[in-house]
Structure 1
Amino acid sequence: MNKALSSTSEDTSIAAQLKWAASLILSAEAANDTALLDAKILLCHCLQRDTSYLHTWPEKTLEPEQVIQFTELIQQRCQGHPIAYLIGYRDFWTLRLRVSEATLIPRPETELLVESALELGLPDKAKVLDLGTGTGAIALALASEKSHWQVIGIDKSHDAVKLAKQNATENQLDSVRFMQSDWFSKLDKQRFDLIVTNPPYVEDNSPYLQQGDVRFEPLSALISGADGLDDIRFIVGQAKGFLAGAGWLVIEHGFEQDEKIRNIFESNAYVEIRSVSDFNGLPRVTMGKFYENDL
């Protein structure tokens, strides 16, 4: 065990271990304002208890194997490993989703895409496609709210599809279909009332790729050309052949990309184009409607 990461105290109480762990994380990440929360989440994982237990029993001592497990997790967190990868799941919408290093970690910002899609007033039995589904977060969130929607999630990664299927089963949403496909390649010209996607949209040389959790996530799910828009250009162009009637395409993107993405929609003859901002006033989602007879 790394000596620098060992407890300097023989006190193995919950309170003492949390204090030690938070200070260690804080020293490793100069601007980490979630150090104590990180420590609590990891200790709850080791104890298989919720946070109320930590506050109720601060003097309770950990078993030796719990101390070892907790120390190892704190060591990995100090090296920057994402909390979600360390504990194996992330809560999203109303769901608990398993995660792995084969997929991006679902983020709260993506819930704006789910909210935007749910507000479109689609048919009761709408056909919905989630492109690049990853953990299945978007597809499963939509299905959890609209049980009669016919939802399909696709991803080019076999491991991602396997994980999404597992998340569907564990959240009792078995009606959602998941399949392996490189974007639209395996869809045989099916038509959808709604296509949603959180595609790669980070520039190849972005300094963002060297920060925080992103360092440990799959690059293929993050980067998309010099301006970050290669995949979005492809999706907007190709989606026209898979949208039924007045179908909607809804895309999550970076907060500085909205104007360029609206231009991409416009150049592909979409209408009712608009962007949606998050609680901080940053545009995170852009959508447009396409009429099939405009092809």
Structure 2
Amino acid sequence: MASGLIMLLDDVAAIAKLAAASLDDVAAATAKAGAKSAGVVIDDAAVTPTYVTGFTPDRELPIIWKIARGSLRNKLFILTPIFIALAAFLPQALTPLLMLGGAFLCFEAAEKVMEKLGLHHAAHHEDVPVLLEPAERETKMVNGAIRTDLILSAEILAIALGELGNLPIATTAAALVGVSVAVTALVYGGVALIVKMDDVGVRLAALNNRTSQAIGRGLVASMPKLLAALSVIGTAAMAWVGGGIVLHGMEVVGLWPALPHTLNDWAHAVALMSPVAQGAIQWIIHATFAGIFGVILGAFIAQGVTMIGKLRR
């Protein structure tokens, strides 16, 4: 009886160790996949506050909550099953799919750069007529934001899936779910803080305390700068991530592999000139090359899209 109990406890301990190891694998895969999609996440966080512009302060958080729920549905019930099936039955399609997603990121980054330079007018989400009733306008805006989120979420999960490698399907599925929940919480939690920053600042500025007033005025003044910084960082990250994905895909599928090899060699050669931090320097230079390549590729795609649009008209 005692020996049977000991064997049972050993089995329980072994199962617990296996479960802990699986959780570690899922956590590591989730962190790795989420980090690679940082560019899209930052851009998503920079874009989303525009969807609550023009609404009364009491409707800002409810609107963000509605968009967040729609985003989570997009990831968990539409995109994750599709990507799990892709990983299980058609893994060879992953690299071309990632290259398409990377090219789209390059296109988005290039459009923003060209728009800043006055060379191109990027397409924005559809304007909502101001004559709509507030409830109708809110519904229309939320639905438009969720549709846009579907594209961004697909990019995030495609990048995440590419980072997971040949993991078991169960681990891949758990990691994709983890990325979905973590990214949604990060983006929309951050957006909620950003859109309420000015309200908090106004309340602090109204207090009868010089320190609180200074902090409040600082929060109100810093919000436009924060959004502008997020936009710049998001654009740079999209160009770097998108360009890097396309370059890596070119190497994998054998499409002009000399280009990524040459850029790698250049980054390595420059890094060797430094007596310290050669790995970090090589990474920075390679990321810069990938970003420049991403903007150039995106500019060509943008011009092609413009020409096609003119021909259609």
Instruction: Give me the TM-score of the superposition, normalised by structure 1.
Output: 0.23
Give the structure with the higher percent helix. Answer: 2
Q: Which structure has more strand as a fraction of its residues?
A: 1
Between the two structures, name the one with larger relative contact order (CA 8 Å, sep ≥ 6): 2
TM-score computed with the length of structure 2 as normaliser: 0.22
Q: Which structure has the bigger radius of gyration?
A: 2
